[in-house]
Chains A and B, each alone.
Chain A
Amino acid sequence: MYATTRRSWLQTSGCGFGSLALGSMLALDSVRADSRTAQSPASLVEQQPMFPARAKRVIFIFMQGGPSQVDTFDYKPQLIARDQKTIDFVGVRTATFGKSSQRPLMKPLWKFQQHGQCGQYVSELFPEIAKHVDDLCFLKGMHTEGVAHGPSTLFLHTGATNLVRPSLGAWLMYGLGTENQNMPGFVQLQPSDTKGGPRNYSNGFLPSVCQGTAIGRANRSINDMTIAHIQNPELTPAETRERFVLTQQLNKAQLNRRHHPDDQLEAVIKSYELAWRMQAKAPAVLDLNQETAATQQMYGIGHAKTDSFGKQCLLARRLSESGVRFVQINYADESPTPRWDQHSNMPKHMDHATATDKPVAGLLADLEQRGLLEDTLVWWGGEFGRTPFSQSNNGRDHNPRGFTVFLAGGGVKKGFSYGATDEIGHEAVEGKVHMHDLHASILHALGIDHEQLTYKHAGRDFRLTDVYGRVVNQIFA
C-alpha cells in the first residue's frame, strides 16, 4: 500500500546546510524535473543529462591553502633567471590595497624535468604524478576571485565569495540526481570546518536533498570516516532490528488509523525503509579492508606519510565505483593557515607533496585499470596559487591571478596543457580560465549547459556561474 503516487511535499525553498546530513542520498523527492520549463517535482533518481555527457561523475582532489604553481607544474625559466630581481607589485590585500611596492622574485625550490610523451614539466615535488602526465590535462591560465582563503575557497565551491549560493556538487545533484539509491550522491571526505566550512558543500537554496554528506572531518582520525549514525552504537544487530521493527509497527498503525491515503506520512515510512537499506549497504562500501594489499599499497596505505590521504583516495574510488556522483577528497586541516599555505617556509611544500603524490598517482592508476577514468572526471587543485615573489624570506603569498590545476579522464584531452601565465608565472595571460569557466566546463563534461541549469529562488533564476562562465571547449577531446 505504500507504493502510491508521489507528490511534492518537499518545499522548493529547501535550506538544509548541514554537515552531517545525508541529503543527497535518496530517491524520495523532487529535484530537477525539467529546469528548462518549471520546477515541477521529480525524483532524485538518476536523470538524463541535457546532451550526451563525457563524464558521469567527478572526483575533486582539493589541495587546501593554495599550492604554488611555479614550484609544481608551471615551469618558468625566466623566474629562475631573474631570481632575487625585484618586480613592481600592486597590492591586493587590505593593508596594501592599490599600493605599489617592489618584491623580490624567488626561483622554484625544486628542479623541473620533462615527463612522458607530452613532455610536460613537473617538479621534483611530484615524481609519482609525473608518471601520469600523458593522462592529464593541465590548465595553466587559471584565475579566480578573492585574495584570502575564506572568500576564495567559497568561490571555488559555490561561485561566490560571500553571497550564499549552492555548491557545485549540490548543483550536480539537482541536475543529475544520483546513480545509487542506497548511497549519498554527493560526498565530502574529511572536509574542514574552516574557510567556509559546511557552506562549501551546502545546498544553499536548492532542496535539502542536494546537500553534501560529510564523511569524517579534517583533523580527525582517518579511521573515523563514516556516514553519521549508519550504525547503532549501543545495540546488537538483532536489537537494532527489533527497534526498527517496533518503530515501523507504530508508524504503520498510525498511518492505518487515518483511513485516507496520505503521501506525506507514507514518505516517513519510506524514509525509514531507505535508512534501513543504507544501513545494510553503505558500511561495505566504506570498508577499505575489502581491498587487496596490492591495491592498498598502490595508494600508499600503510606508510606513515601517505596512509591518511591514501585512504581518502581509495575510499573516493570505492564511492565513485558505487555510483556517487561527486566525491571531494580534502587535503585540509582546521588551522588558520591551511596546509599548502606557505607564507614562509616554502620547503614545507615538500611535506604536502609527499603526503599526496603517491595516493593521487595511485588513484589515477586504479581508475585507469578499472576503466573508470573514462567516465570519471578527476580535478586536482587549490583555491588559488602562490606568488612568484617571496614573502618573509622564503615563503610565497596568495596568488589568485594565475595558477594551475589539472584534470583527467571524463573526456578531457590527454597529455595536454592549456593556457599560460606570464614569463614569471604570476598572472594568467593566455588561455585564461576563470573559476567560473572551470565550473561551466565541468558541468559541460557532465552533459549540462551551465546557462540552462537554473533554479528559481527569491524571485529570480539562479545558476552556478551567475551571469559569467564559458565552456573551455579547447580542453575536450
Chain B
Amino acid sequence: MKYQTTFVLFFACAVAGFHVSLNATVAADDDHAKVEFFESNIRPVLVEHCYKCHSQQAKNVRGGLLLDSQAGVAQGGESGPAIVSGKPEDSLLLSSLKHESYEMPPDRKLPDNVIADFEKWITDGAIDPRAGGKTLVRESIDLEAGRNFWCFQPVTKPEIPTATDVAWSRTPIDRFIAARHRQNNVSPVQDASPEQIVRRLYFTLIGLPPNIAQISEFVDAWKIDSDKAIADTADLLLASPRFGERWGRHWLDATRFAESSGGGRSLMFKDAWRFRDYVIQSFNNDKPFDQLIREHIAGDLLPSTSAAQFDDQVTGVGYLTLGPTNYEQQDKELLRMEVVDEQVDTIGRTFLAMTLGCARCHDHKFDPVPTSDYYAMAGIFRSTKTLTPGNVSGYVTTPMKATNNANELAEWTAAEQILLGEIKLLQKPVKRAIGKPKKAIDPASLPGLIVDDTEAIFEGTWVDSVFVAPFVGKGYRHDMSMKAGRKVTFKVQLPKSGNYQVRLCHNYSPDRCSSLPVEIQHAAGSNTVTIDQRKTPLDAVFADLGMYAFSKDQAAVVTIDVEKSGPGVVIIDALQFLPATDEASAESERGDQRQLAKKLTQLEKRLQLWQGQKPAVAEAMSVRDQDEPGDWHIHVRGGIRNLGDIIPRGFMSVASTATQSSAEKPLIPANQSGRLQLAAWIASETNPLTSRVYVNRVWLHLLGEGLVRTPDNFGKMGQLPTHSELLDYLAATFVAEHQWSTKQLIRSIVTSRVFRLSSTAPAELVDADSGNLLLTRAFRKRLEAEAIRDSVLQINGQLNLKTTSGLTIENVTIYDNGYDHEAKDANLRSVYVPFFRNSMPEMFVVFDVANPNLVTGRRAESTLPTQALFLLNSPYILKQSRLAAQHFLSTHTADPANADPMISQGWQMTVGRVPFAEERNVVQALLEQHGTDSEDAWTAIFQSLFASMDFRYLD
C-alpha cells in the first residue's frame, strides 16, 4: 500500500513585515497596532501555554495541531482550523480556551482577560506575523494501491501442484504442502501412531477423548486401511451431536459470546443461551456459513417460511447484541455510539479479520481503511436499534414464534385490548389522562379566579421549577425539602362577596410532602386543611380545600406554614377560587365523574391483574432497524459530539470490487438500515476476506495454527499466509464445491496427510523448519479448559450429556457477580456452563478460556504455577480424582496379584495409551504399598495423570 503524500510547506517570507514598515498609511498603522497586540498579548501566551504540545519543537504534537506559525493556526489540527478570522464564535482555539469544546490548557483555564485578548485578536482579523513554518503532512489512503495487498486480491482457485510422491499425498491439500517441502528441501516427519491419531480426531472434532473400545476399533481399522479408518471415524464424529458442542464453542469465541454484559454492573443476559444453542445446532446441522453470516447481521430482516426459521434468524442476529456493553453509562449518546463501535469492530474481526476499530478516530494507520469507510459502516449500525432507554439501558428483544403458544398469547392479547379500549373510553369523561398532562396549563383556560404562585409572598429559600408537569402558568416552586423558615401567603381580593370553593394546585409525586397544613382565612374566621401532596388529586391538578364565604371588603388569606408540614418536598403552584354557582355545576359534574372514576379504577385494577397473567413469552436478544435510518457523520478524532461530514452508508471500499467501491456506493434504500446489504456483501463469494478468514479459522482448530497465524487480523500488522495458494484453494473450494459447508471442509482437511503427522521432530528438522512454517510436523495442542473438564468428567463417569440444555443459569438475577459456579455445576458439558463476563468458573480462568470481551480466534496458552496449584490442590480436582477412582474401581475388578491390566486400562482411558515402563514402575510400587483396590492410591494416580503433560497436551 502506498500513501499519497502532500507536503504543505510555507517558506519564510518577509514581504508582509516589509510592507508594514514602509507604507505608513492609516491601514498600516492599524495593522501595526494589531501586530503589536499579537506580539504583546497573544504570542507570549502561545509560547508559554501551548508550544509544549503544539509546535515543531514539541516532543509529540497533539491533535495534529501546530500553533507556532500562521500557517499552522490556519490549517488547524485534526478537528479543523484553529481559528476563523473575524469569527471568534466559530474558532475552535477560543472555545478550547474557554473549556467549551476542548479544555486547553489542560491543567487550568487561563484568566478571563487573557481569553478576552484572544477573542479580540480573532475579531480583529487574527493578524499573525509568524510567516514561514510548516504544517503537518496530511496523508490519504490510496485504495487502488491498497488492493494489491494479498488479502484484498480476489480469491481464485489455484492450480493443484503435481504430486511427486503419490503415496504421501492423500488429498490436494497435501500436494500444496509437499510442493513447499520440495522447494525448501525438507522432509516431513512420519505419521503419528494410530493411538495418537484417534485421540486427535476425537478431541479436535468433538472435544472428548475416545474410550478404550473406540481406540482399539480405530487401531484395528487403521491396520487394514488407514485412509478409510480416518474417513469413517471423521464421518462418525461429524454426525455426533457432540460435534456442534465442540465447534459451536469455537464460534462462540469468535463472536465474543457471553451471558452477561460485564463492565460496571454486569447484567445477566437471561436469553443469551438461545444464541448459544442456536450456534451449536447450526454447526450440528451444517448450516451453510453464508447463511450463518446473514442471520448474524440481518436475521431480523430475512424472510422466513416457518416460525422455526423466524426464531432461528432472530436468535442469530443476537450476535450484534451480545457485546460487553456498559448499560449503566449515563451519557446515552456516547453509549449509543460505543455500541455501534463495538458492533463495527466485532464484525470486522469475526468475519473479515480486519481491525476496523482503528479507523474510528483517524484513517487506519496500517491498512487501507479510511475513516469514511468506518463511518459508512457505523451509519448502518446507528440505523439499527440495539438499546432500549432507561437510566440503566436495556437491550432489544424479539418475541419468538415457534417457542410461544400462539393461541394462548393471542387470546390473552385480545382480552387485553378489550380492557384497554374500555379504559380509554372512560378516560376522557373522567378527564384523567393515562399519564399526567404534559404541558403547562393556561390560567385563562380555567374557571374561576386563578392566583399563581408568582403573586404569593414567599419566605425562606424556594426553588423555581418546571421539572414535573402539570402546573398552572409559568411553573411552580418547591422548598428542596427543607422546612426551616419557609412560609407562603396568598392574599386575594375577591371581586364579589359570596361562597367560593378554594382549591390548591400541586403536581403530585411519591417524594412530596405527606401532610401539608393550609390555613384559609375567610369571612367567618379561619380553617386549616391538611393535604397530602403524594396523592393524585381527582382531576390530576387541584386539591380541594373546601367551600368558604368571603367578603369583597376583606382579603382572603391562604397561608401555608411549611415548618409545620410533614416530610417530603412541598410544592406551591396556583390557588383557585371557584364561585358557588360554578361550583354547583362543577359539583354535579363531579358527582357523575366520581361514578365513572370508580369504574375506571376498577377497570385499571383488572388490567393490572390481567397483565400479570401474561403467558410467558420466549424472547430472543436481537436488534431491529431504527424508525428513521440514515447516514451519519464522521466523528472527528472519534469525539461523539465532534461531527464532521456526513458519509453515505456503505462497506469497506478496499475489499469491494471497483464497481462496488467509491464511485458507485452500494445502494442502501433510504428506509432501511443497510444490514441486509452489508450481510450480502460479507457473505458474497466475491468478498476476498470472508471465505479466507473462515477456512483459516477451521484450519487453526484442526491443525493448531492457522495458515495465517493471526486469525483475527489479516491486515498489515497481521502475518502473511504461510501457504497462500493452499489458503485460496481451501477458500475457493469451500464456496464453490462445498457450498459453504463446514463439515465438508473439515472432512477434506482431516483426511489429509498433514493431519496425521507426528508432533515430535528431530532437532535438525526443527532447525530447518523453525516455527513449523512449512508444516513438516504437527503442532502439539494444549487442551482447552473445556476439554480438560469434559474429559475428566467423562473419565470419572460424571459427564451429563444433554443435546439441548436451554437456560443453564440457575437462579437468574440481575447481576452475574458472586455466581457460585462450583455449587451449581451440574456436570454438563462445559459449553453449557453459564458464561459470564465478570464471573467465570475458576478452572476456565486458570486454563485461558477465551476472554468474552474480545473476539478470540486463537486462545492464549499460558503455563503458570496457577495451573499447577489448581491441579495439585483445588477441591474440585481432588473431588473429581476421587470420583474417578471410585468409578474405575466399580467398573474394573482388581487383581491383588497383578496390577498391570488395571494400570494399562487406567492409562488408556486417561491418556489414550498403555503406560511407559517408567510410569508403570512408579505406579506399581504405589499399588503394592496400598493394595490394587485402594481408592486412595487410585485417587492419587488419577490426580497425577490429570496433572500430567500427556493428559493436558494433545500430540
Contacts and interface: CB of A to CB of B under 8 A. Distances in A.
Interface of A: 9-11, 13-23, 25-26, 28-29, 84-86, 92-95, 97, 99, 101-104, 141, 146-151, 153-154, 161-164, 193-199, 205, 207-209, 227-234, 240, 242-244, 246-247, 249-261, 264-265, 267-269, 271-272, 274-276, 278-279, 334, 336, 392-393, 429-434, 437, 451, 456, 458-460, 470
B332 A14 contact: no
29 contacts: A10-B860, A11-B858, A11-B862, A22-B869, A84-B482, A85-B461, A97-B332, A147-B331, A150-B326, A161-B326, A193-B817, A193-B838, A194-B815, A197-B839, A198-B839, A207-B862, A209-B862, A229-B869, A230-B873, A243-B940, A246-B926, A254-B919, A254-B948, A257-B918, A267-B863, A271-B863, A431-B107, A433-B107, A460-B365
B9 interface: no
Given A271-B868, A458-B713, A265 B862 contact: no
Interface stretch (B283-291, B534-542, B791-799, B848-856): B848-856
A264 B864 contact: no
Given A148-B264, A232-B873, A256-B918, A16 B860 contact: yes
Contacts of B837: 199
A268 B951 CA distance: 12
**Chain A interface, DSSP helix/strand/loop, else mixed:** loop
Nearest to A469: B106
Contact of A15 (B761, B850, B865): B850
Contacts of B762: 260
Contacts of B325: 162
A99 B465 CA distance: 11
Interface string B783-820: 00000000000000000000000000000000101100
B840 A260 contact: no
B643 to A, nearest CB: 17
B329 A162 contact: yes
Contact of A164 (B330, B463, B818, B854): B854
A247 B944 contact: yes
Interface residues of B, number: 100
B869 A250 contact: no
A459 B345 CA distance: 12
Given A162-B324, A255-B949, A431-B108, 9 more contacts: A13-B856, A16-B845, A19-B845, A22-B869, A141-B107, A243-B940, A260-B761, A278-B865, A432-B107
A154 B266 CA distance: 12
Q: 8 smallest A-B Cβ distances: which pairs? A: A150-B264, A18-B845, A459-B355, A275-B868, A193-B817, A253-B918, A275-B865, A15-B851
Nearest to A258: B760
A15 B860 contact: yes
A99 B848 CA distance: 46
Contacts of A13: 856, 858, 860
A199 B263 CA distance: 7
Contacts of A456: 717
A238 to B, nearest CB: 13
Given A101-B467, A250-B944, A151 B326 contact: yes
A274 B106 CA distance: 47
Contacts of B850: 15
Interface of B: 60, 106-109, 262-266, 324-326, 328-332, 338, 349, 355, 357-358, 365-367, 390-391, 461, 463-465, 467, 480-482, 712-713, 715-718, 760-763, 766, 780, 815, 817-818, 837-840, 842, 844-846, 848, 850-851, 853-854, 856, 858-875, 878, 916, 918-919, 922, 926, 940-941, 943-945, 947-950, 952-953
B453 to A, nearest CB: 16
A432 B104 CA distance: 11
Nearest to B838: A197
A25 B868 CA distance: 13
A279 B869 contact: yes
Contact of A161 (B329, B761, B862, B873): B329
Contacts of A20: 842, 845-846, 866
A139 B844 CA distance: 41
Contact of B328 (A150, A228, A253): A150
Nearest to A264: B780
B331 A97 contact: yes
A194 to B, nearest CB: 5
A104 B480 contact: yes
Contacts of A150: 263-265, 326, 328
Given A86-B463, A161-B329, A254-B916, A275 B872 contact: yes
Which of B107, B766, B944 counts the most A-chain CB atoms under 10 A from its CB? B107
A405 to B, nearest CB: 16
Nearest to B333: A97
A234 B878 contact: yes
Contact of A28 (B330, B358, B863): B863
A250 B903 CA distance: 13
A279 B391 CA distance: 47
Contacts of B869: 22, 227-230, 275, 278-279
B949 A251 contact: yes
A276 B264 CA distance: 36
Contacts of B480: 86, 102-104
A162 B107 contact: no
Contact of B860 (A25, A207, A433): A207
A228 B817 contact: no
A287 to B, nearest CB: 18
B348 to A, nearest CB: 10
A258 B713 CA distance: 34
Contacts of B840: 17-18
Nearest to A193: B817
A29 B865 CA distance: 12
B717 A95 contact: no
Given A21-B846, A193-B817, A260 B763 contact: yes
Contacts of A249: 918-919, 922
A458 B870 CA distance: 31
A302 B844 CA distance: 38
Contacts of A28: 863-864
Contact of B330 (A97, A104, A163, A252): A97
A458 B868 CA distance: 30
A294 B60 CA distance: 52
Contact of A84 (B365, B461, B780, B950): B461
Contacts of A431: 107-108
Nearest to B871: A247
A260 B760 CA distance: 7
Contacts of B875: 233-234
Contacts of A205: 854
B364 to A, nearest CB: 8
B472 to A, nearest CB: 20
A431 B945 CA distance: 61
B374 to A, nearest CB: 13
A186 to B, nearest CB: 13
B355 A458 contact: yes
Given A150-B265, A253-B919, A275-B868, A10 B940 contact: no
A243 B863 contact: no
